[in-house]
Amino acid sequence: MTELVTGLAALAPSERLLCGPGPSNVHPKVLEAMRFPMNGHLDPDFWDVLLELVEGLKALWRRPGGLSLCFSASGTSGMEAGIENLVEPGEKVIVIHSGFFGARIAEIARRHQADLIELTAPLGQIVPLQQVEETLRANPDTALVGVVHAETSTGVRYPVPELGELIRTTCPDALLLVDFVTSLGGEEVSPDAWGVDYAYSCSQKSLGCPPGLSPFSVSERALERVRGRKTPVPFSFDIDLLEKYWVQRPIAYHHTMPILQYYALYEGIRLSLEEGLEARWARHQDAGTYFQEEMRSRGYTFLSDPDHQLWELSAVDVPDGVDGKDVQTRFLREHGIEIGGGLGPTAPPIWRVGLMGVNANRETADRVLAAFDAVLPR
């Protein structure tokens, strides 16, 4: 038992250049949008905003049909919501993983009583498609395959288009669930063209919004699967109820939406479309590859297999004899820059550097490089 406090100190956070694995810094116009007059979630003007936002989400996900909405929760909840909506207890689920977030998909599938098969590879590598193919052929009753497109813990990209094609040809009844948390807005993400039935992401990385929301996109056939379920879905993340809330008029009230966060997401998507998705991807690619080349020229190496290296996020190997944690602290205290470390107890010694959203440019890369040079002079 402790005493209850009678007051709190004033909040006074310091400025940060957020170049870790996310969140990235919020675009100034997105911050402005959060200062617009707050309407209620049952205000008919806000319902119009929601309908326009649905069009924006469809464009962002490049899926004209199906359903593209957003959960009022974190990307982790978006991950769990996919399993909750698409998998029934006892159904066979294959999770392909070689990183913290892929392993989390497996953990969540386990908690929801899936009949789980895990395919893993060493950190920095991908599970070969050949191995996935063999597993699919041996398990034609697979209900769902789960994988992370851009693994935030290792900087590795999975070849999702090829995986989608493989499922289509070898195990066409299996749904494909993909985590696009780090890639949406930072590189091509085309779930419809790639055969991804359930795609989810977050607001705070390449989209340049604050954390708190999980945009998602579902295929028509996955929606049919949800509608034909035998066991109920938890209320909070029931896609069917959310569709009635977002899209039907009059709306069927579901929960009180975080209005200011949705203003932010709206503005983030508006800015993304204004810039052009292809231009935005190219900007992220240019910033990330520039950073990686510069780091390589300084002798640094990366955790990821070069054939599968992300550009939004780079996992830099901590050189022998260097205390990675101490370097992170000095970045923060001496340069006001956040970079990440390894995630979880089994992570190798790495730094994770993200150049996402407003930070995806060479000027920001140069600030990070300058901090590396200052903290670890050659």
Q: How far is the CB of 279 from its own copies (least distance, A)?
A: 13
Of the candidate residues 137, 168, 255, 298, the single one contacting its own copies (CB under 8 A) = 255
DSSP character string of 75-97? HHHHHHHHHHHH--TT-EEEEEE
CA distance 280 to 360: 9
Which one of residues 50, 69, 84, 217 is an interface residue with its own copies (CB under 8 A)? 84
Q: Footprint of its own copies on residues 129-188 (CB under 8 A)?
A: none
Distance, CA of 38 to CA of 262 (rounded, Å): 10
C-beta of 48 vs 293, nearer to its own copies: 48
Q: How many Cβ atoms are within 10 Å of 131's Cβ, its own excluded?
A: 14
251 near its own copies (CB under 8 A) = no
Is residue 38 a contact point for its own copies (CB under 8 A)?
A: yes
Task: Output phi, psi for 363, to 5 deg.
Answer: -60, -45
Which residues from 320-359 bind its own copies, rule CB under 8 A?
Answer: 329, 332, 338, 340, 343-344
Identify which of residues 16 and 289 has a Cβ nearer to its own copies in the complex.
Answer: 16
- The residues that bridge with 142 in the sheet, in sequence order, are 92
Place of tokens 């709190």: 8
Contacting its own copies within 87-106 (CB under 8 A):
104
Stretch that binds its own copies, among 48-56, 128-136, 137-145, 290-298 (CB under 8 A): 48-56
When asked if residue 72 is in the footprint of its own copies (CB under 8 A), the reply is yes
Query: 126 or 223: whose CB is closer to its own copies?
Result: 223
List the one residue from 193, 253, 298, 334 that touches its own copies (CB under 8 A).
253
Q: How far is the CB of 294 from its own copies (least distance, A)?
A: 23
* Enclosing H/E stretch for 204: none
DSSP state, residue 155: T
Phi-psi region of 93 (alpha: psi -120 to 50; beta: other; left: phi over 0): beta
Q: Which stretch binds its own copies (CB under 8 A): 124-132, 140-148, 266-274, 287-295?
A: 266-274
Query: Strand 198-200 to strand 214-218: parallel, antiparallel, or no bridges (unpaired)?
Result: antiparallel
Shortest Å distance, C-beta 310 to its own copies = 18
In whole angstroms, the minimum distance from the beta carbon of 42 to its own copies comes to 7
The least distance separating its own copies from the CB of residue 230, rounded to whole angstroms, comes to: 13
At closest approach, how far in Å is the CB of 197 from its own copies?
A: 17
Q: Whose CA is closest to 224, among 8, 366, 65?
A: 65
Site string for its own copies, 211-230 (x = CB under 8 A): xx------------------
Q: Which is nearer to its own copies, 201 or 292 (CB)?
A: 201
Between 82 and 171, CB nearer to its own copies: 82
Contact between 278 and its own copies per CB under 8 A: no
Q: Is 368 in the site for its own copies (CB under 8 A)?
A: no
The pair of structure tokens assigned to 185 is 């807005």
In whole angstroms, how far apart are CA 235 and each of 79, 84, 85, 247, 255? 15, 10, 10, 18, 10
Instruction: Tell me the HSE value of 330 on the side-chain side, using a 13 A CA sphere.
Output: 15
Judged by CB, which is closer to its own copies: 69, or 257?
Answer: 257
- Residue 325 C-alpha from the chain's centroid: 25
Which is closer to its own copies, CB of 81 or CB of 176?
Answer: 81
- Choose, by CB under 8 A, the member of 134, 141, 162, 274 that binds its own copies: 274
Contact 199, 216 (CB under 8 A): yes
Which of 324, 344, 342, 321 has its CA nearest to residue 332?
324
Site for its own copies in 11-30 (CB under 8 A): 11-16, 18, 20, 22-23, 25-26
Within a 13 Å sphere around the CA of 35, how many CA atoms are in the beta-carbon half? 5
Residues 296-325 that bind its own copies (CB under 8 A): none
Residue 270 interacts with its own copies (CB under 8 A): yes or no: yes
Q: Tokens representing 342?
A: 């390894």
